[in-house]
Amino acid sequence: MQQEIVVITGASAGVGRATAQAFGKRKAKVGLIARGRDGLEAARREIEAAGGQALVLPLDVSDHDAVDKAAGEVEKRFGPIDIWINNAMLSVFSPIMEMEPDEYRRVTDVTYLGYVWGTLAALRRMKPRDRGTIVQVGSALAYRGIPLQSAYCAAKHAVQGFHDSLRCELIHDNSNVRVVMVNMPALNTPQFRWVKSRLPRKGQPVPPIYQPEIAAEAIVWAAYSDRREINVGWPTSAAIIGNNFVPGFADHYLGRHGYDSQMTDEPEDPNRPNNLWDPLPGDQGAHGVFDDRATSRSIHLELNKKRPWVVAGAAAFILGLLVMRR
């Protein structure tokens, strides 16, 4: 196992934190980017306890110059970056008519442009060396927008389009730099208790819910695969494929059921702190409050990782049935 040099944005909590833990177990050297120092320091301790090394880089990914400077600091400390993972995100749970212009701008600056700035920082260093991998942490919502999360869905749609454009250009340039997008299902992360919300009840991921370690496993695997994209969990594939064939049905279904499915029965406190403009204090960790409802396994992911063998086995089975019928 080589000692990779990895950069993770949004590394202080949730999927980023679980991914940092996963690379720590690989004894990687990890640059940790997020706004909250408490979570970053906790992630650093976890990585070092597992035998890896970490560099804490507190910054806002909406700041292009700060992101590029951080990439330089990682290379000065550890050496050439092998893997860059764009993961930082913000969201607002709100009907569109109640959103403020600055809220749309803020979510876009972090959840979309943060990916662009991270990608550019990585490319400036990877392209001249003609090696490296950029992982874009996507979502089923990059393909299928849902109510009450318009800013986040739009930003993830933008990431998906940016990903397609970048792949085309890398192919044109005959570059060995790779980019892969990992589309996530509903995950048990802290975001549902810290994003800004105008919902009458507390937010929740739309079931079924997966633990963030599933996401981290997919990200690490994708970084070494030859895949263009990978969907994590059957609900992600169902949403993406279904939207290709019956988008109108999805519109009506989500219009009827997409509100209640995103809320628990607990009333929301409209005055609670949120992380839209500033990080919340303390270490939020990788997990949210839905451990009792979240699964730690994904058969879909395991089959997806073995897709060539699954396809070959299915083809052999069908061929065998045809031969038997003759």
The catalytic site residues sit at 152
Tokens of 318: 């069908």
Residue 105 and residue 266: Cα distance in Å, rounded? Answer: 29
pTM > 0.85: yes
For the chain, the domain total comes to 1
Residue 209 and residue 88: Cα distance in Å, rounded? Answer: 20
303 is a domain residue: no
The owner of tokens 């403009």 is 277
154 is a domain residue: yes
Label each residue of 282-308 as H, E or C: CCCCCCCCCHHHEECCCHHHHHHHCHH
320 is a domain residue: no
Angle at alpha carbon of residue 269, lines to 263 and 271, rounded to 5°: 135
Residue 113 pLDDT greater than 60, yes or no: yes
Per-residue pLDDT tens over the stretch 24-82: 999 999 999 999 999 999 999 999 999 999 999 999 999 999 999 999 999 999 999 99
Q: Are 146 and 153 in contact (CB under 8 A)?
A: yes
Beta pairing class for 263-267 and 201-203 = antiparallel
**Cα separations (Å) of 54 from 29, 199, 217, 316?**
6, 38, 19, 47
324 is a domain residue: no
What percentage of the chain reaches a pLDDT higher than 90?
90
Residue 177 pLDDT greater than 60, yes or no: yes
Q: Are 210 and 185 in contact (CB under 8 A)?
A: yes
142 is a domain residue: yes
More confident residue, 44 or 306: 44
User: Structural domain of residue 106, as residue ranges?
Assistant: 5-295
> What CATH number is given to the structural domain containing 215?
3.40.50.720
66 is a domain residue: yes
> What rounded mean pLDDT belongs to the chain?
93
311 is a domain residue: no
Residue 203 pLDDT greater than 70, yes or no: yes
CB atoms within 10 A of CB 158: 17
More confident residue, 60 or 322: 60
Length of the chain: 326
Label each residue of 161-187 as H, E or C: HHHHHHHHHHHHCCCCCEEEEEEECCE
